[in-house]
Structure 1
Amino acid sequence: MRTFRIPFASPARTLSLLLSLCLALGFLGVFAPGSRAAAARPGDQPAKRVNSADSAPRSSIAAERRKESDRDVRADASKRPPVVGSAPTAVASGAARPRALAAAAACNTGDFTGKTGSALVAQIKSATVDCVNTLFNLKGNDAKLAFNEAQMVTVANALRDLSPGYPGDDSTSATQVVLYLRAGYFVQWYNPDVVGPYGSGLKTAIRGGLDAFYAAPHSQDVTDANGATLAEAVTLVDSAAENARYLYVVKRLLNGYNSSYNASWWMLNAVNNTYTVLWRGHQNSDFLPAVQADPSVLDTLAAFASNNNALLGGDNGYLVSNAGRELGRFLQYPALQAKVRPLVKKLLGQSAMTGRTAALWVGLAEMTDSYDQANCAYYGTCDLAARLKAAVLATSYTCSPSIRILAQALTSDQLTTACTSLTGQDAYVHGVVRDNGPVANDGNSTIEVAVFHSSSDYQTYAGAIFGISTDNGGMYLEGDPAAAGNQPRFVAYEAEWVRPAFQIWNLNHEYTHYLDGRFDMYGDFNAGMVTPTVWWVEGFAEYVSYSYRNVEYTDAIAQAGQHTYALSTLFDTTYDNADQTRIYNWGYLAVRYMLQSHRADMDALLAKYRTGDWNGARTLLKTTIGTRYDADFNAWLTACNGGNCGPTVPTAPECTGADTRQLDKNCRRSGVAATTGNYAYFYLYVPAGTTSLTITADGGTGNADLYYNRSAWATTGSYTAKSTTTGNHESLTVANPPAGYNYISLYAQQGFTGASVTTSY
């Protein structure tokens, strides 16, 4: 997900682009960066910089639908106090899903803001669900006119009036009415001064509406048609902060669940949304007293998890693990511990740390660790993070003196492939940024790469082991690079949806964050965020991930044709003011343009970043450069969208030796060519004590294979190491090369021209 540099002190400050989240990542290359492509995949989006739980009223239906695949039900931002522990996960892929939502229908905001009373209700009922969904975005006076308390009371009363005749489908427009109310609570939460306060009048009206809806016989139908409305109505309970009043709805859905629900994605969603009612109910003052008065909801959760244990390991297993997690969350209350402890212990005994039932065990264990750690021996959950790490990330593999991989299930070939990609990237990045070594006070000389076997394993284990949010596509944890003993790491997972192909999702993107933080960005992550640097931090990670792998960033190139942002506007990007498209697609475009077209400005900017002169860097971007390049950037976008983005930045200067076969430290030979079956030969003098030599070939047409020999001319029949992938992108890292002359060649598997060879050590 492309995540970003984040200090250990606040590991949950991930980025939230959940939203757009995911926005759908692109599955590009063996190590996909955090880009987005056509279809969302598990965990492919970054998460917002939030605490352990988002607490605002849920966002629009479109945003939530996008978040399905992230298996998380968090809202888009955090305003209410954080809740310790993870949020419930969202619906997985087992049930038949409804047709994907089409682009929002064209709507006239004035049709809602200009009407009151029965005319407003009629307008809502006549609108499409997509149209009502757009109202979650209202701001300013439009927000006030649409969602002031009088308007909301009118619509809540309309829900009350239509509910007795609710037919179990949307023929009476119940979904639009429920969604309008949700939009109102959402918009008012973020704009209370504009919309105005909500008081007892609305509380009475919304209770009347929800009471009537849940009393309607057809609200209990197990059908897609009812589920589409019911799922939103369950979320409305939380939006209206009526979590305590409707605990009976939670129990009804959990007790009523059976295999017939599995045929309906919407009904599964409705069941799963009950966990949000519980999860955020803890933030309401009336919630604990309600559970104390009737603790049967605790028995319901325990029974659901126990009776449906067989679902674990399957598409709908999240329903069981969420039940366990929400039961365990009640351990925070001393008054309920005598009741909850044995229920939790029993479920732990019915599950295990690894294997099919792991999601239930780990969720329960996390709750005991958060709320009842002093009694960890009773549960068998002491030393939880260390035990999980040892049991799950059992493979330790040293790629190089600076890179160590901890893996759950990588084969030896996969480890080698990953290591080759990582070690070859160093020289590439150094060639692009032209640094002079690590920034001052940066001791992050090694990195730990933790790789889970799948997105679901990542979501099950990474939070408990590393204390991070897992509603994203991976995370780089920088820590404090000046602190003795600090261990930076990034946490990633295999992209199981592309198997049998092998991908570690976001591998090159996240590794770029490590290199960028060490060689370009002074201090820790927080230091670099005092002024807007996101355009560079995320845009550069995207740029390297795509250009290093020689993959076209089709999503970004398509965005170029939209001309959405001026370059000067992109310099203002932050994680809080931008969506995923602006952060990643447009960050890439801005970085690529600046590196290609204004190298001197970039050198000056990076010089300031490297010393922590954030204000000086900001002045350079917004005053010295300002809007000066906006017109040229706009023209470049047109050309780029048309297929002419220009060449990516050379990553090393040309070698200067008179013999064109001679390579030297950190330089390249360009324009290399050979006809099919022939060679282009090179040699390199390596000084004594060299611990690592990296050789890369790239660019041009045809198919050139890379060969290396320690002691003689390298050929297909005489070599020490080789890289022979399709095309001209080849890379080798040689550990402890011998002092003296070393030999390199490009063999023309197919005649090639325009290639380059780069060496670094």
Structure 2
Amino acid sequence: MRPSRIPTAQLGRLLTLAFAFLLTLGLFAPQSRAATTAPQERPTPRSFPLPKSPKLPDEHRPVPGEALTGGQDSPRAGTAPAAAPEKQGKAQRSAPNALTAAVCSPADFAKTGAALVQQVRSVDVACVNSLFNLDADGAAKVFREDQMATVADALRTASASYDGTNNAAIGQLVLFLRVGYYVQWRFPDRVGAYGAPLKSATRGALDAFFGAPRSKDVTQANGETLAEAVTLIDSARENARYTGVVKWLLNGFDPTTGGAMWSAVDNTRTVIERGTELPEFIAALQADPSFATAMAGLVTRNAAGLTGSDLATSIGIQLGSLVSFPELRPQARPLVKDLIARYPLVGASGPLTMNLAWYAENKDKGNCALYGICDLPTRLIPLVLTVDHTCSPSLRVRAQDMSAAELADTCTSLANQDAYFHALVKDGGPVAGDQNKRLEVVVFDSYYDYSLYAWSIYDIEVDNGGMYLEGDPSKVDNQARFIAHEATWERPTFQIWNLNHEYTHYLDGRYDMAGDFDAGMSTPTVWWVEGIAEYVSYGYRGVRYDDAIAQAAQGTYKLSTLFDTTYENADSTRIYNWGYLAVRYMLQSHPQDMTALLAKYRAGDWAGARTLLTSTIGTRYDADFAAWLTACGTGRCGSLQQAQAPLCTQADTRQYDKNCRRDGVAATTGNYSYMFVYLPAGVQQLTVTSSGGTGNGDLYYNGSSWATTTSYLAKSTNTGNGETLTVVNPPAGWVFFSLYAQQGFDGVSVTTQY
């Protein structure tokens, strides 16, 4: 994802989805807000968006509902039947119905005239449903326009005597037509065009069905066929012609509606949603303001049942889409305004209210006062981000829901990463003029909550996995901010998605890259900016980067090519996986070149850095990089050789001093190796690390008294002996720490730095 100024978001087609898959959802960010009452510390949008988890499909609005793939070019196949209302959702248009397909032969349908009609009527609905899976050859034999028109004519004739049940196999006829529109969309060249003859025949069939008195029976039997017929409206692109049918269903829905009749009303979402893509549908709604009123009425009648995943929420959100059209704004504005004012911004009504606010702000720009949402960000912060925790003078956490233990672990993780980063890049402090002394980490409870609220509170694009807002680092009061969400798919383990990657952007911007983000992008630096963030994220956590190692085995890029990476000329694989590989190789194999390069980055000598990469280094390392990739692709990537601190010299082997280490530290299982160090006044940060050796030692710190497993202020308890503790503003005088032997350890190195 491109870390740049937030681009203008383009809203695509509007997908209504099921609440059970909230993690799959996202939201396109607005352009600049129309409101003038944003939070005082909102930074300028110099931003680093992060990739989503691969567990989150691409979807761009926080509408509740079932996870879908597909977009504007999906076929108009519509909703599949479902077994029960609580399972009902919009099936993706690139897939067959949700029914279990019966065993039947597609060749049996390669007929014409009365023989085809008889075949369709003679099988069950599941058999017809299996035709969604036809390949191009099969579709060409079964769904030519003349065959479709024949079945449509049969549906028209049968509808004249429709008795409200499927005794005449009307459901199979309707579903056959739905399948035909779907496979013709998939294989237009093989099936052939659908033109005026089929359009006329389908209109006649739908007119006859919806005109039949029993098609309005509020029964399970009628609902099953009616639900399919409603979807056929959209499949045939007749959305404008049957707004009266949709309005009737909207007006009739209430909390007692269930079963297949619920499905029939639910399928109106497809007709409305896809209808907004058709000018004739917009014209029909403009001519009949009562349609929008029916949508709003469905919401208010069913408000007691709002859950965020319910039909009323979905229809209400579709009402919001109407303000996108100048012709419909006069009728939609007061209805949307009323719903926004009527229901809370958080809780069960949050998905409805926030989506309506999104439409109001993004599709009716400049009119936030009309909807009463100009101060929305200010109102949302205390409602949504109820946790406010200070880790240190330079680090604050705002969260939707984090326990005391989760907050403490997050603060410790970031403090320890700080030490890891500095040891890696060997900086000499902040770059000249950088005032990013404070970082605020914002943590939403889930990706869904992030997409639902962060766009408004922070004026960002949220179709990503998090966002670092650098602000203007030259301003003394600048507030850098990382906006993130919990990785809910990792529960019960608590994890903030992309936390370590994004924190590296903050550290890198403060200690390695002069000026602001735009300055750093004046020449191609993406290989380093994203590569170091990935390297630290994986290296600090001790996690194997399988995706990057798999890419190494492919040997796709030369090192000299990666130096030219930009957000415009590269995909996410090159930016993240290959950025990591390039940075890892250079840090491990050519640290002297990296020292020279970072010196230029820190001085803002972008032209000099570019010359170093393209001329001084040029293609010189390409062959060695290729050999390294071959080894790395098998898991033999090597390791970074960190410079060791000198040995401590005090006679008491328990005593440490500034920037020194002791080797051969040991203890038997259940016992301690006790240690201490004297700190002068004014030490801002003490870092203690342990590494190497055998066994498993855990590191504990306890300030001015001996550190044990029951008496400590901080701890690091990883598997093995790789432990790090960073203590901010420790007290002056003697402070104590220890290694506790979960398993007897020997040959461990312990280092103190301050």
Please, what TM-score do these two structures have when normalized by structure 1?
Answer: 0.68
When structure 1 is superposed on structure 2, of 244-253 and 747-756 the one drifting more is 244-253
Q: Tell me, in whole angstroms, the C-alpha distance in 2 between the residues paired with 1:557 and 1:435.
A: 28
Cα shift readout 1:546-587 (whole Å, capped 9, x = no counterpart): 111112222322333333333333333333443333332232
Q: Tell me, in whole angstroms, the C-alpha distance in 2 between the residues paired with 1:209 and 1:668.
A: 83
Q: Tell me, in whole angstroms, the C-alpha distance in 1 between the residues paired with 2:250 and 2:748.
A: 62
Post-superposition shift, 1:461? 1.0
User: Quick check: 1:42–1:70 contact (8 Å CA) kept in 2?
Assistant: no
Post-superposition shift, 1:399? 0.6
1:372–1:611 Cα change, 3 Å: same
Letter in 1 for 2:617: I
Secondary structure at the residue paired with 1:441? coil
Post-superposition shift, 1:438? 1.6
User: Quick check: 1:560–1:641 contact (8 Å CA) kept in 2?
Assistant: yes
Q: Tell me, in whole angstroms, the C-alpha distance in 2 between the residues paired with 1:620 and 1:691.
A: 36
Q: Tell me, in whole angstroms, the C-alpha distance in 2 between the residues paired with 1:167 and 1:279.
A: 23
2:292 to 291, 294, 298: 298
1:424 to 399, 416, 423: 416
When structure 1 is superposed on structure 2, of 305-314 and 520-529 the one drifting more is 305-314
Q: Tell me, in whole angstroms, the C-alpha distance in 1 between the residues paired with 2:187 and 2:654.
A: 70
Cα shift readout 1:488-546 (whole Å, capped 9, x = no counterpart): 11111122233222112211111111111211223333333333333222222121111
User: Quick check: 2:285–2:291 contact (8 Å CA) kept in 1?
Assistant: yes
1:391 to 360, 378, 383: 383
Task: Give the match for residue 191 of structure 1.
Answer: none
Task: Give the match for residue 573 of structure 1.
Answer: 565
Letter in 2 for 1:640: C
1:494 corresponds to 2:486: yes
Task: Give the match for residue 681 of structure 2.
Answer: 688
Task: Give the match for residue 123 of structure 1.
Answer: none
User: Quick check: 1:161–1:209 contact (8 Å CA) kept in 2?
Assistant: no
1:359 to 347, 351, 354: 351
1:168 to 175, 183, 193: 175
User: Quick check: 1:96–1:263 contact (8 Å CA) kept in 2?
Assistant: no
When structure 1 is superposed on structure 2, of 352-361 and 215-224 the one drifting more is 215-224
Task: Give the match for residue 739 of structure 1.
Answer: 732
Post-superposition shift, 1:360? 0.8
Task: Give the match for residue 532 of structure 1.
Answer: 524
Secondary structure at the residue paired with 2:740? strand
1:434 corresponds to 2:415: no
User: Quick check: 2:28–2:61 contact (8 Å CA) kept in 1?
Assistant: no
User: Quick check: 1:4–1:510 contact (8 Å CA) kept in 2?
Assistant: no
Post-superposition shift, 1:356? 1.2
User: Quick check: 2:292–2:332 contact (8 Å CA) kept in 1?
Assistant: yes
Secondary structure at the residue paired with 1:356? helix
Please, what TM-score do these two structures have when normalized by structure 2?
Answer: 0.69
Show the 5 A alignment for 1:11-30.
none
Q: Tell me, in whole angstroms, the C-alpha distance in 1 between the residues paired with 2:631 and 2:376.
A: 54
Unaligned runs of at least 5 residues, structure 1: 17-39, 54-62, 79-92, 103-126, 133-153, 183-201
Unaligned runs of at least 5 residues, structure 2: 13-20, 34-53, 73-85, 96-130, 152-172, 216-221
User: Quick check: 2:231–2:271 contact (8 Å CA) kept in 1?
Assistant: no
When structure 1 is superposed on structure 2, of 618-627 and 173-182 the one drifting more is 173-182
Q: How big is the alpha-carbon RMSD for the aligned residues of Structure 1 and Structure 2?
A: 5.3
1:446–1:163 Cα change, 3 Å: farther
Letter in 1 for 2:562: L
1:618–1:248 Cα change, 3 Å: farther
1:750 to 731, 740, 743: 743
User: Quick check: 1:5–1:513 contact (8 Å CA) kept in 2?
Assistant: no
Q: Tell me, in whole angstroms, the C-alpha distance in 2 between the residues paired with 1:250 and 1:700.
A: 72
Q: Tell me, in whole angstroms, the C-alpha distance in 2 between the residues paired with 1:210 and 1:663.
A: 86
Q: Tell me, in whole angstroms, the C-alpha distance in 2 between the residues paired with 1:755 and 1:131.
A: 64
1:633–1:48 Cα change, 3 Å: farther
How many residue pairs get aligned? The number is 636
1:351–1:715 Cα change, 3 Å: closer
User: Quick check: 1:163–1:216 contact (8 Å CA) kept in 2?
Assistant: no
Letter in 2 for 1:168: L
Q: Tell me, in whole angstroms, the C-alpha distance in 2 between the residues paired with 1:574 and 1:378.
A: 42
1:51–1:364 Cα change, 3 Å: closer
1:327–1:167 Cα change, 3 Å: closer
Post-superposition shift, 1:416? 0.9
User: Quick check: 2:525–2:566 contact (8 Å CA) kept in 1?
Assistant: yes
Cα shift readout 1:636-661 (whole Å, capped 9, x = no counterpart): 233223232222453x6423544576
Post-superposition shift, 1:607? 2.4
User: Quick check: 1:11–1:468 contact (8 Å CA) kept in 2?
Assistant: no
User: Quick check: 2:380–2:457 contact (8 Å CA) kept in 1?
Assistant: yes
User: Quick check: 2:25–2:56 contact (8 Å CA) kept in 1?
Assistant: no
Q: Tell me, in whole angstroms, the C-alpha distance in 2 between the residues paired with 1:355 and 1:517.
A: 37
When structure 1 is superposed on structure 2, of 549-558 and 658-667 the one drifting more is 658-667
Identical positions, percent: 50
Post-superposition shift, 1:363? 1.9
Task: Give the match for residue 705 of structure 1.
Answer: 698
User: Quick check: 1:563–1:634 contact (8 Å CA) kept in 2?
Assistant: yes
Task: Give the match for residue 139 of structure 1.
Answer: none
Tell which structure's C-alpha radius of gyration is larger.
2
User: Quick check: 1:538–1:588 contact (8 Å CA) kept in 2?
Assistant: yes
1:178 corresponds to 2:170: no
1:666–1:579 Cα change, 3 Å: farther
Post-superposition shift, 1:429? 0.8
